[in-house]
Amino acid sequence: MFQSLRARLVALLLIVAFAAVAIGALMTGLFQRSAAAQVGQMEAETARACEAQSGAFRFYVSGWRSHDPSSSLSTIRQGLEPVVQSALHDRPGIEGGIWQDGEGSLAYAYPSYEGAGPKTDLPQAELTRIKAINQAALGEGHTVSARYRASTEVLILAACPLPGPLPGLTAWTMTRVRTLEGHGYQQLMTGLGLLLLIVLAAAVLLTQLTMTWSRHITRIETTLATHDINDLPVLPSTGERELDRIVRALNEAGERLAVARRRAETMAREVAASQRLAAIGRVTAGVAHEIRNPIAAMKLKAENALAGDTTRKEQALGAILEQIDRLDALLHRLLSVTEQDTPAYQRVSLGDFLDRIVRRHADVAATRGVAVKSEAAVRHARFDPGQLERALDNLILNALEVAPRHSTVHVRARLAGDHLILAVEDRGAGPPPHLRDELFEPFVTGRADGTGLGLSIVREIAAAHDGVARFHHTNGATTFEIVLPWQPC
């Protein structure tokens, strides 16, 4: 699935981001639970503060004697504020008071207020809610609580009925829990910020790592692609420890390849020298065989001439001259094999070139009952016309020797990819199977009167043009081809 290093690094970054989101969500959930627990705790504390006011009020009114409550209401108001102060003095953040139905607030206190002076005024913004919670407690006859959520805080109210000589009295308490402030909220923000920094740092690190590796790999690819194919270049260090291990391995492989190439070149030269010695041996044996027979014949004719009359001497001299001509032709063909000149490349019209060669062999072909035709699929080419003419002469003469009567020898020129192919095709039986592997070697021939040098001349001419000579026999046709690299005209 992830076949590249870049894809794996991107996947790793996504995993880190997902883990950070999951941890952030967990931290937020824990903070919310903590805030909810804090709200619940403060709600219970607010209710206990209200009960504390109720207990303080009962103690306050326990020493009263029977009297008219309405006549001493102002006196009662003055005594209620200390009741509230005593009940709330050790409860930080909680304010409260005593409420009478129909009269409103009888007493108010906020002992833990952190302002410049004591707070004595009732919170007007919450007056409606204070009235409502007191009415609810009076109506239900027990302690009631209420929560009011804002964007950054939760307002908690509690109220409880106050039994005693005065009717319609209730105690109330109020506090605020700031959910998005305080130490817990700061810890949450710090944790989320650290997670964000970790994700950003991982993204920067992985991006830099991906770009660095991509740059180094691209440089290695470019160096290898533009360098000579015969050997490996020495790659510079990248500074990346793991990648440098690959670079060192490639450099060591290049050194081993260079050593192996030099060893192979040495062995190739040795093999070529051995092949040349073997070829010289074969040529020497062939030359000795070809020369020995004419010399033996001339010796026999000379001996017969010395012992015979004038007529026999003349016949012997004629035979000796014939053998000398044979030796001269043999030496001429040997020189053609061993003394190849550097090709003189020219722009040649292939149609005219092939027609000229075919016309030169037309008479010989006619005496054998064979037709010779040329076909040029290429208009112009570059090669040495003199050398290629000699090579095609040899191939055409061989084809005329073996072509059956009433058949046609085809001489063709065509392009195959980036090679020019000159081909001579006949309908003969082709070379004997046991000679085909060495057909282009000197003195290899399947004819009793042949010297075995014609095809070796063809091979040497093709090699001088950086080409090859080959043959194939298919569907009753034998084709000899000279394959040359295409030279643009």
pLDDT tens for each residue of 421-457: 999 999 887 777 767 666 667 655 655 455 566 777 8
Task: Confirm if 346 and 489 have CB atoms less than 8 A apart.
Answer: no
CA quadruple 368, 371, 377, 383: dihedral sign: positive
Q: Are 160 and 137 in contact (CB under 8 A)?
A: yes
Contact 477, 427 (CB under 8 A): yes
pLDDT score of 439: 67
- Report how far residue 449's alpha carbon sits from residue 401's, in angstroms, rounded to the nearest whole number: 11
Which CATH number fits the domain that encloses residue 70? Answer: 3.30.450
Q: Is the pLDDT of residue 65 over 60?
A: no
Q: Which segment of 83-87, 126-130, 186-190 scores lowest on mean pLDDT? A: 186-190
pLDDT for the residue 256:
85
The b-or-e profile of 124-156 (16+ CB within 10 A means b, else e) is eebeebbbebbbbbbeeeebbbbeeeeeebbbb
Is residue 327 assigned to a domain?
no
- pLDDT for res 222: 81
Last residue of a domain, one of 184, 217, 247: 184
CATH code, domain with 365: 3.30.565.10
**Residue 403 forms part of a structural domain:** yes
Residue 71 has pLDDT above 50, yes or no: no
pLDDT higher than threshold 60 for residue 66: no
* pLDDT (mean) for 36-54: 88
When divided into structural domains, the chain yields a total of 2
Q: Is residue 459 part of a domain?
A: yes
Comparing 349 with 329, the larger pLDDT belongs to 349
pLDDT at 335 over 60: no
- The most confident of 80-89, 114-123, 190-199, 435-444, by mean pLDDT: 80-89
d(CA 86, CA 56): 8
Q: What is the 3-state secondary structure (H, E, C) of the chain?
A: CCCCHHHHHHHHHHHHHHHHHHHHHHHHHHHHHHHHHHHHHHHHHHHHHHHHHHHHHHHHHCCCCCCCHHHHHHHHHHHHHHHHHHHHCCCCCEEEEEEECCCEEEEEECCCCCCCCCCCCCCHHHHHHHHHHHHHHHHHCCCEEEEEECCCEEEEEEEEECCCCCCCEEEEEEEEEECCCHHHHHHHHHHHHHHHHHHHHHHHHHHHHHHHHHHHHHHHHHHHHHCCCCCCCCCCCCCCHHHHHHHHHHHHHHHHHHHHHHHHHHHHHHHHHHHHHHHHHHHHHHHHHHHHHHHHHHHHHHHHHHHCCHHHHHHHHHHHHHHHHHHHHHHHHHHHHHCCCCCCCEEEEHHHHHHHHHHHCHHHHHHCCCEEEEEECCCEEEECHHHHHHHHHHHHHHHHHHCCCCCEEEEEEEEECCEEEEEEEECCCCCCHHHHHHCCCCCCCCCCCCCCCHHHHHHHHHHHCCCEEEEEEECCEEEEEEEEECCCC
At 347, the pLDDT band (50, 70, 90 cuts) reads very high
Q: Is residue 471 part of a domain?
A: yes
Q: Which residue, 184, 203, 221, sits at the end of a domain?
A: 184
Look at 233 and 161; give whichever has higher pLDDT.
161
Q: Please indicate, yes or no, if residue 392 is contained in any of the structural domains.
A: yes
Parallel, antiparallel or unpaired: strands 371-376 and 408-416: parallel
Q: Is the pLDDT of residue 419 over 80?
A: yes
Residue 89 lies in a domain: yes
| pLDDT of amino acid 283 | 58
- The answer as to whether 215 is a domain residue is no
pLDDT digits (tens, 9 = 90+) for 239-283: 878 778 888 888 888 888 888 888 888 888 888 667 666 655 665
Q: How far apart are CA 407 and CA 213, in angstroms?
A: 70
Query: The domain containing residue 108 runs over which residues?
Result: 5-184
Whether residue 289 is contained in a domain is answered as no
pLDDT at 282: 60
Looking at the DSSP bridge assignments, the partners of residue 149 are 154
For residue 237, what pLDDT is reported? 81
Q: Rounded to two decimals, what is the model's pTM? A: 0.42
Percent above pLDDT 70 for the chain? 78
- Select the more confidently predicted residue: 390 or 299: 390
Q: What token pair was written down for 171? A: 């105690």
Q: What is the mean pLDDT of the chain?
A: 80
Residue 203's pLDDT band, with cuts at 50, 70 and 90, is confident
Residue that terminates a domain, selected from 140, 169, 184: 184
Look at residue 184 in the predicted model and tell me its pLDDT. 66
**pLDDT surpasses 70 at 291:** no
Give the pLDDT confidence of 98-113 residue by residue, as tens digits.
999 888 889 999 998 8
Give residue-wise pLDDT tens across range 140-191.
Answer: 999 999 999 887 788 999 999 998 777 889 999 999 988 776 666 677 778 7
